[in-house]
Amino acid sequence: MDLEPFMTDEHSEYSVKLAWQTALEIRGCPPDRILFSGERSNDMKQKHLQSCPFCRERLEHEDLFAEVDKIGISREREKTDAEQDIGPGQIRLVDPDLGGWGPRNRYYNPPHVLVLKLLSGPGAAVEVAQIHTDELLSGPGDVDLGQGQGYAQAWNTYTLAAKDLDNLQGLVSEDLTKQILALSGQEPEPVDQYTVLFYFRQLELAVGSFVASRSINRLLADHEADKQESSVKAIQDLDPESLRRQLTAQQPELILPENVSSALELIGLASFQDQALAASDTAQAVEAKWLSLKQQGPEIQPARIALTLMERTQTECILAGRLLPEGTQADCLYAWWQAENSIRPAEESRLSPNGQYFHVQFSGLPEPQSNKEKISLLFCPHE
């Protein structure tokens, strides 16, 4: 695991460097049960060892952990009623089963989080803020939780399935929880690049994105109902050029794409001249639309969304979020990725059981380019 350049503020260079090294180990190094397991053929594990001096040193003392494989780790435990009742203000550990190997050959360990609010609907999801404990790595947008419980990162919030919250670790007052929730909705104060704080926050965002993606994916996988409207399926059989002429006449404000493979793709990749794009921190932009079927034919309208996850690796792109305003529901979802003259449909596009949350994954993409990529989402409303 490479160590990026360090800069100091009022803290000593050594102390800040040590805090950063510790954070890398806590967040990105495999736990003992993974590191000392008999699995030696794991390619990501071997690459991690090549770049991580911490884990190489741990392996030198492998004999001290010889009993780890014999003991094992049991995921079964009894929960009290108080532990099962998840609510705002609770500090909880994210289920360790959400951890795993990910980008940069790191093993992403689930963090502690503060529950900010329960999200409505049968999907049983919660909004959380990630927690860290080393004050040397705190900065703007971090809120001290008191009683040695660390600080909540109001700039690093995301959605998790409630069932993926594990042990209750502590409690925070209602007023402080509301303060953090309000702060999470504000634009975070920028952090100077090439500083320890900048690199640390990139690490924290990567950890949050990783566990959020896995959690929402598991939530959506519990509900595999494919609610494709028969009338929407009928659109797939329309002639794209005939539909183009119809949309041009009925909705002249639309910008229609060229060289599409189907009528549904024509609708999905259409843009509004004045539509605002929900830009991520990367080179992608997201455009969402509603498809309604009227007597005169298909009608396209802008859709409002809130992204809770946006991650672009060398060959994949994953995003998740919810429809706005709260309570808005969709019955089906289509998604496409675009860059220059390339168009790729989503490998996976899912809606939560209540139709309010979505998860989209693209695979086999070319390496990220400096030019802007675009993701188009097409929702069919719940009737």
For 272-290, write each residue's pLDDT tens digit.
876 544 433 445 689 999 9
User: Which residues, at least 6 apart from 66, have a Cβ–Cβ distance to it below 8 Å?
Assistant: none
206 and 239 inside one domain: no
Domain limit, last residue, from 186, 221, 256: 221
304 and 267 inside one domain: yes
Q: Is residue 29 part of a domain?
A: yes
270 and 307 inside one domain: yes
Q: Is residue 307 part of a domain?
A: yes
210 and 245 inside one domain: no
Helix (H, G, I), strand (E, B) or coil at 64: helix
Mean pLDDT, to the nearest integer, of 90-103?
94
HSE (side-chain half, CA atoms, 13 Å) at 261: 6
pLDDT at 201 over 60: yes
Give the sheet arrangement for strand 165-171, strand by strand: 142-144, 151-161, 125-132, 112-119, 90-94, 165-171
User: How far apart, in whole angstroms, are the C-alpha atoms of residue 227 and residue 50?
Assistant: 47
HSE (side-chain half, CA atoms, 13 Å) at 260: 24
191 and 250 inside one domain: no
Q: Is residue 285 part of a domain?
A: yes
Q: Is residue 164 part of a domain?
A: yes
Instruction: Quote the domain boundaries for residue 150.
Output: 13-221
Domain limit, last residue, from 221, 256, 283: 221
Whether 205 and 311 have beta carbons less than 8 Å apart is answered as: no
Mean pLDDT, to the nearest integer, of 277-305?
75
Mean pLDDT, to the nearest integer, of 185-202?
90
DSSP code, position 354: T
179 and 248 inside one domain: no
pLDDT at 310 over 60: yes
β-strand partners of 293: 298
173 and 200 inside one domain: yes
Q: How confident is the model at residue 381 (pLDDT cuts 50, 70, 90)?
A: confident
User: Which residues, at least 6 apart from 58, have a Cβ–Cβ distance to it below 8 Å?
Assistant: 32, 35
Q: How confident is the model at residue 234 (pLDDT cuts 50, 70, 90)?
A: low
Mean pLDDT, to the nearest integer, of 287-297?
82
For residue 151, which of 172, 175, 168 has the smallest C-alpha distance?
A: 172
Whether 119 and 125 have beta carbons less than 8 Å apart is answered as: yes
CATH of residue 93's domain is 2.30.30.110
Average pLDDT, the chain: 83
What percent of the chain is modeled with pLDDT above 70? 81
Peptide bond into 88 cis (omega under 30): no
- Here the contacts of 99-102 (C-beta below 8 Å, separation 24 or greater) are 99/31, 99/211, 100/210, 100/214, 101/30, 101/42, 101/44, 101/45, 101/48, 102/206, 102/210
130 and 34 inside one domain: yes
For residue 284, which of 368, 202, 345 has the smallest C-alpha distance?
A: 368
- The Cα-based distances of 287 to 35, 93, 263, 268, 290 in angstroms read 42, 34, 18, 10, 11
362 and 261 inside one domain: yes
Give residue 215's pLDDT: 87
Give the ranges where 237-282 is alpha helix by DSSP (H). Answer: 240-250, 263-268
Q: Is residue 5 part of a domain?
A: no
CA dihedral for 265, 271, 276, 280, sign (positive or negative): positive
Domain limit, last residue, from 221, 238, 254: 221
Q: Is residue 288 part of a domain?
A: yes
Q: Is residue 234 part of a domain?
A: yes
Tokens of residue 141, six digits: 């947008």
Q: Is residue 215 part of a domain?
A: yes
310 and 244 inside one domain: yes
Mean pLDDT, to the nearest integer, of 210-228?
68
Whether 27 and 131 have beta carbons less than 8 Å apart is answered as: no
Q: How many separate domains does the chain show?
A: 2
Q: What is the pLDDT of residues 139-183, one digit of tens each?
A: 999 999 999 999 999 999 988 989 999 999 999 999 999 999 999
For residue 331, which of 368, 288, 383, 266 has the smallest C-alpha distance?
A: 383
Give residue 110's pLDDT: 97
By mean pLDDT, which of 2-16, 279-293, 358-372 is the weakest? 2-16
pLDDT at 189 over 50: yes
39 and 161 inside one domain: yes
Q: What is the pLDDT of residues 330-355, one digit of tens each?
A: 988 999 999 877 899 999 998 888 88
235 and 262 inside one domain: yes
